[in-house]
Structure 1
Amino acid sequence: MADLALPIALAALAAAFAAGAAAGACLTPRLRRRGASAPAGGSAAAAATRAEPERPGNAAPEAAGAGGPRCDSARLDRRLAEVGRMTGGLAHEIKNPLSTIGLNVQLLREDVAQVGGLLASGGGVAGGDEALAGLQRIQRRLDGVHRETARLRDILDDFLRFAGRIRLDLNATDPDRVVGELVDFFHPEAEARGVRLRTDPGNRGRPLRADGALLKQALLNLLMNAVQAMAPGGGRGAEGPAAARELLVRTGDDPADARSVLLEVIDNGPGIAADALERIFEPYHSGRRGGTGLGLPTSRRIVELHGGTLTVDSEPGRGTSFQIRLPREGPPAAAPDAG
């Protein structure tokens, strides 16, 4: 059953591309030769000498004309490369639950055969007890199959959300209110994991043009990453102190740019090793057990879609700080969505 991992991954990838195409993404690469353009795969004469990817300024009329979809080739190239790299990671993520499901199904077949034989033979009280134990094993194995099936669904859902097209619903948003609502929601999770969650609201009611729901999702991913990394065995490369684990969410003006808002998620956990820090925003690169590997890349994508940046500073043994910087006037008009 694990052999199905790559086909499923490729099917999910195709579905993501189809969703992007349906939303108007430009998925036909074009080649330019000395001012002329032709679809990739055209005649050898048309693509002779030096050919290079078509850029927005050289777009063909059907790609850039009135009524046609706008094609940001640079952004499209990046997304195609990024989603392509994800396929291998997705196949790896799928393989484990598929293997577990396959093993449980095999054991279920054996248990069913055993219980069926006991019931058919009428083995008395002893046989009845053994049959009951067999039925209990079957129930446990079915529970395992159900858990792994749900895990598989979550993996694929996360992938399709990340690989698909995101549209912003921009409104006047108060970052302090977004953080307050998110902390109220997340506080029980942090408390259950022994982490003290605090806020330092400093926006003072200044407006931010943003998609509040997506901004909340980006912050939630950062909070989940921090809390899980601070747990014993969180896997960031160094263990933090067992007590006094704290997580702070702070908002305010960006000291480097008065036109931007700064949101920070700061923890005093184990920190992130330098080699892992370089890859932390790569899809399916997760330094902790049980991580999907898409939380941080998704947060970065949401922030960049708003015209902002997501950066990170960390010191092993001291903690980690993520910084979200967003322009208060919102993203550029030419970037309403991403595919």
Structure 2
Amino acid sequence: MLSTMDTALGLMAYIGALGLTALASVLLAGFVAVRARGLPGAWTLVTFLCGVALWSLAMAAPAMLGARAAPFTLTVIALSPLPAAAFVHLVFAFALCGALRPVAWASYGVACVATIAGIVLGVGKIAPWHGFAGAFVPSLTGWGVLGVAAALSMTGHIRLFQTWRRQSGLHRDQAGAVFVSSGIGLLALTGFAFPALGIEAYPLPVLALPLYSVALVYAVLRHRFMAADVWARRGLVWLLLLAGAGGAAALIATLPLALAGRPEGFVATWAALAGAMALGLLVMAPLKRLTDRMVFPGAKLDVEPWRDALAQVPDEQALGELANAMLRQHLGLAADGPGLAISGESVTLNGWDDAPAALRHTAVRIAGLAEEAARRLASARRMVEAEREARLAELGALAATIAHDLRNPLGIVQMAATAAPPEIRVEIGEQVGRMNALVTDILDYARAWTITPRPIELASYLSGFGVPVEVPEGMMLHADPAALRRALTNLVDNAKAMGGAMGNGCTIIADGHSIDICDNGPGIAPEIAGSLFKPFVSRRAGGTGLGLAIVRRIMEAHGGNATVAQREGWTTCFRLTFGPDLRARP
């Protein structure tokens, strides 16, 4: 027999192990019921976990209450084949077995027969053992009931092992993890047989029972046996760790009472209990803080380094990428975890609805910093755009003056050339025409493009450019017909020049989002690829270098853009995109 102190400590450890197992099983059952209730087998797993929790409490009750726990404990033991049948059902459902229905019916049928026999005939008694107030000692019927539960459990384990051998990848990992966790549970259950077998030793295997819950939680979280979002998984870990911390605090708080014995008198007992509670709360506070930091790191935020880092980004896309990367790293989240989205000057949080309040507050603060940086970017962009428009206005005024001052002399030159020999007259006409075209392009580039969108039937509209067209029949586009014609004419003329004068080497391809003008010419020279849409950059000899710049100006007026695109079968494609309100519709 153990000494009084050893018996007290052993009893506390025994009850604590069973209590933690019951609590962990209830928490995991609640987690599955709330977060994974729509998945196949979820409610079967909930039933099984509730059975484990009930069994744990039923085995702890005699150690505390002795024979008074007999009605509760003996009833739960008689019911023990039912959770075992639920385990078989769960395993065969997980293994995607074609014989699920008959196996489930057979398991529940055998379990019901054994349960009825145990309730009617009795499964045993509660007797003092090894310094405990009571322990379960089975009768012959009780051995039969427990044997049925063990047989059902072994059936499930054999099927799990077969699944592990036959499957691969995540399914194999899931089967292996659940097999190991359940194996730990079976090993721990052997400790309950000590009183029945007359083994005069402390039931050490029972102390391993909480590891069963830990292993099962690991299977759920690590191998995603039940799908759930990141906050649910972290919340489950937090609850389990907090429960463990609470158990540790309670153990430390009651240890002095276990060592010194119960004091005499009401006042002394009350004072001892109050002291134990105060000590428990004192120990619990740092343990809770440690749990919070382990599971939900990053609740504290130093604002200035974040503000400085976000202020360095050049554009909205880079801001979103940096803010998400820093946010997820700070809070220990996966690369595809909850984050934020930036659109213009607004920032929205995605996936934070179920996050703990402290972390959600941190995310809101980070979103505020990102929004501040987004406003700075937008303000800088507006300033650049305003400066650009001012310069273009100045250029437009200058261009108008130059056009007036140039075109009058050009007209005089053209008229004076009528008396020249034919070949000289032709040459003068060509050069005057080039100068007029350059003046026109400068005026078009410098002007403030304002558009008047109207519905355009694309198939008939695009057919007028003299090149093959690929466009869905009946597709409509809202755009300014004259401005769009100017842009398309520039691009089609370039494509014809580069891909074939007859139009055989170029085409127009339109869909619901864009219009592509493609050619099979020599492509774009690498040295001008980065500046193709800037003024006075041309990919063909004799060009003014303003055509593509004008195209981009026209498309920006439409709320879209002009870019270089890739299409299989073509060496060069220019893509025109439109604002959301102007896009094509069937």
Instruction: Tell me the TM-score range normalised by the shorter chain.
Output: 0.3 to 0.5
Structure whose CA Rg is larger: 2
Q: More strand per residue: 1 or 2?
A: 1
Larger RCO (CA within 8 A; separation ≥ 6): 1
TM-score by length of structure 2 reads: 0.29
TM-score by length of structure 1 reads: 0.47
Q: More helix per residue: 1 or 2?
A: 2
